[in-house]
Structure 1
Amino acid sequence: MNRRWLFDLGNTRLKFAPLLDGGVLGDVVAVAHDNGDFAVEVAQALPREGAVAYLASVASPAMTAVLRDALSARFGHIVVARTASQFAGLRIAYADPDKLGVDRFLALLAAHARVAGASLVVGVGTALTIDLLDGAGLHHGGRIAPSPALMRAALHQRARQLPESGGAYAEFADDTQSALASGCEGAAIALIERSHAAAARQLGAPPGMLLHGGGAPALAAHLPRAELASHLVLRGLAHWAARAEAE
C-alpha cells in the first residue's frame, strides 16, 4: 500500500498520485469538480488510507476544506504546501510570496529541477499562466490571462448562441465554432509567443518553453518551441515533499 500521496487541487480538477521511492510519481488520477457534489466525488475517488498527504490548493477555501476533511479521515498527517520566497535554489520575483499561487510556485520548482537553463513555464488550465525562470533559478515574474476554455465559457455565458466547445483551429475559419476555437486559442498562442520573444530580449537568448495543464496539448501543436511537461505541479510538489521530509 502506498503511504505517501500528492494532491493538487485546482479550480477545475483535483489531481493526485502516490509518491514512490526516489521522488517518482505513481499513476495520476484526475477528478473534475466543476459539476456535481465535490464531497461525494472525493469520497469515491480518494485512496482509502495513507500515512501522509501533501496538499497544494488554489481552489476556494470551502472546496479546500472539503478535501482536507476527507483527507483527515484517511491520512495520519496532512502537509500543506505554501509558496516560499526562496526554496531549493528557486527565488521568486514577488515581494510577498503569498501573492504567488502555489501552483505556479510548484511548477517553477519542477522546471528548475528539470531543466538546465532558462524556461518560460506556461500553465494552461482555468487560467493561462506564464512565468519566466532564468538558468540560475531566479523568477522574473509572469502573466495571468483567461485560458482558451475560460474565454469560450465567458463568451457562451454572455451570448448563449455562441457554442462553448467544438470547432478546430484555423488561421481564417469558415464556421462559427472553428472561429471561436481559432480566436480563443490564437489569443493564448499570441500571448505566449510575445512573452517568449520578450524573455529572449531580457535574458539575451531564447529560453526553453514548458507547457503543462489540461489545455496544453491543444496549444503545443502551434508552438514548435514548446515541450509538453505533464503534471508539472505534482512533480513540483514531489520535490517540495522531499525537502520537507529531509528537514
Structure 2
Amino acid sequence: MLLLDIGNTNLRWAVHDGAQLGAVQIARHGNAIPLDVLAAWETLPAPTRIVASNVGGAAVAEALGRVTQAYWGLAPEFVSTRAEYAGVRIAYAEPSRFGVDRWLALLAAHVDNPTAAPTLIVDAGTAATFDLLLADGRHLGGLIVPGLEMMRTSLLAGTQIPRIEIEPCGMLWANDTTAAVAAGSVQAIAALAERLAERLAAETGATVRILLTGGDAPRLRAAFSQPFIEIEDLVLRGLTV
C-alpha cells in the first residue's frame, strides 16, 4: 500500500509492505503534488492500494487522484473519522467534525500501548492539537491552538516586531524581543501539553504517556521537562490499523 498523510502544509507518504511501514518522506504540497514527489513515485513498484488521510483540502485531493490514476490506474481511498473503531471511541458527538488525522493518531496510539497507559497526543503542525486517550480506548476530547508559525505570524501582524529568524533551542526566556516571541511560542505549546498531562495523571492515577508528532515536533523537543515519545509517522501508522 501507498499511504499518504495530507496535512494543511505538508504531505507525508510511505509504503507499507504488509508487515511494516517504510521510511517516511515529507514535502510541502502547496495544494498540488510536488515535482520531487512525482519523481520519487516514478520509481515505486505499482501499489495495490492507495490509502490517504486528508485535511489539506479538495484541491490537493483532486491532484492526488489525477496523479494516481495516471501512474497506476488507481483512485486513492480517503479514510474518514468513525465514532468507534478498533477499540477507540471518540468524544465528539459528530464524528465528521473531528479531524481524520487526529482520529488516526488515536488509533495508532491505542493499538500500540504496551504499558496500557493513558495517553496525551501532541501533534505540532500548522495547528497544534492535543488529544487525551484512556487506556481502554475512550477519547476524552482535546484542544487546538495555533501552531508555532501561526502563533508567531499572528503576533507579528499586529505589532512592529521584526520577523523571527531564530529558533530558541530550549530557551525558557529571552533578553531580546524577537527571541522572546520565538521562545514564547515554543514554551506555550510545551507548557500546555505538560499541564494537560498532569491533569490526566491526576484524574486517572496513572503515569501518562506523551506522544509527540507533527512537522514541528523537533522544534519542541528541548522545551519538554516531562518524558515523551516522538513518533514521526503516527498518522501513517493509523492508516494501517
Q: Does the alignment reach a TM-score above 0.5?
A: yes
Instruction: Tell me how far apart the structure 2 counterparts of residues 33 and 160 of structure 1 sit (CA, whole Å).
Output: 31
The structure 1 segments of at least 4 consecutive aligned residues displaced by more than 6 Å after TM superposition are none
The question of 1:171 aligning with 2:172 is answered: yes
Instruction: Tell me how far apart the structure 2 counterparts of residues 137 and 63 of structure 1 sit (CA, whole Å).
Output: 32
The counterpart of 1:38, out of the listed 19, 28, 32, is 32
The counterpart of 1:27, out of the listed 23, 27, 30, is 23
The question of 1:225 aligning with 2:222 is answered: no
Aligned residue in 2 for 1:106: 104
How much identity, in percent, do the aligned residues show? 36
Cα deviations by residue, 1:58-83 (Å, 9 ceiling, x for unpaired):
01122222222222222334211111
Letter in 2 for 1:60: G
The question of 1:234 aligning with 2:231 is answered: no
Cα deviations by residue, 1:123-164 (Å, 9 ceiling, x for unpaired):
001111000100101111000111122212323444464214
**Count of aligned pairs:** 233
The question of 1:17 aligning with 2:36 is answered: no
User: Offset of 1:204 from its aligned partner?
Assistant: 2.7
Aligned residue in 2 for 1:8: 5
Q: So what's the TM-score if we normalise by structure 2?
A: 0.89
The question of 1:129 aligning with 2:126 is answered: no
Letter in 1 for 2:177: T
Q: So what's the TM-score if we normalise by structure 1?
A: 0.87
Letter in 2 for 1:205: A
Deviates more, 1:157-166 or 1:107-116: 157-166
Cα deviations by residue, 1:35-71 (Å, 9 ceiling, x for unpaired):
xx73453534434643210011001122222222222
Contact 1:209-1:225 within 8 A present in 2 as well: yes
Aligned residue in 1 for 2:148: 148
Aligned to 2:12, the other structure's residue is in SS state strand
Aligned residue in 2 for 1:85: 83
Letter in 2 for 1:18: V
- Label 1:205 to 1:25 Cα distance change in 2 as closer, same or farther (>3 A): same
Deviates more, 1:177-186 or 1:122-131: 177-186
Aligned residue in 2 for 1:243: none
User: Offset of 1:99 from its aligned partner?
Assistant: 0.8
Give unmatched runs, 5+ long, in structure 1: 240-247
Give unmatched runs, 5+ long, in structure 2: none
Instruction: Tell me how far apart the structure 2 counterparts of residues 203 and 161 of structure 1 sit (CA, whole Å).
Output: 43
User: Offset of 1:10 from its aligned partner?
Assistant: 0.3
Instruction: Tell me how far apart the structure 2 counterparts of residues 104 and 121 of structure 1 sit (CA, whole Å).
Output: 9
Contact 2:213-2:233 within 8 A present in 1 as well: yes
Aligned residue in 1 for 2:162: 162
Deviates more, 1:47-56 or 1:230-239: 47-56
Letter in 2 for 1:38: A
Deviates more, 1:114-123 or 1:195-204: 195-204
Aligned residue in 1 for 2:198: 197
Aligned residue in 1 for 2:212: 211
- Label 1:164 to 1:65 Cα distance change in 2 as closer, same or farther (>3 A): farther
Instruction: Tell me how far apart the structure 1 counterparts of residues 75 and 57 of structure 2 sit (CA, whole Å).
Output: 22
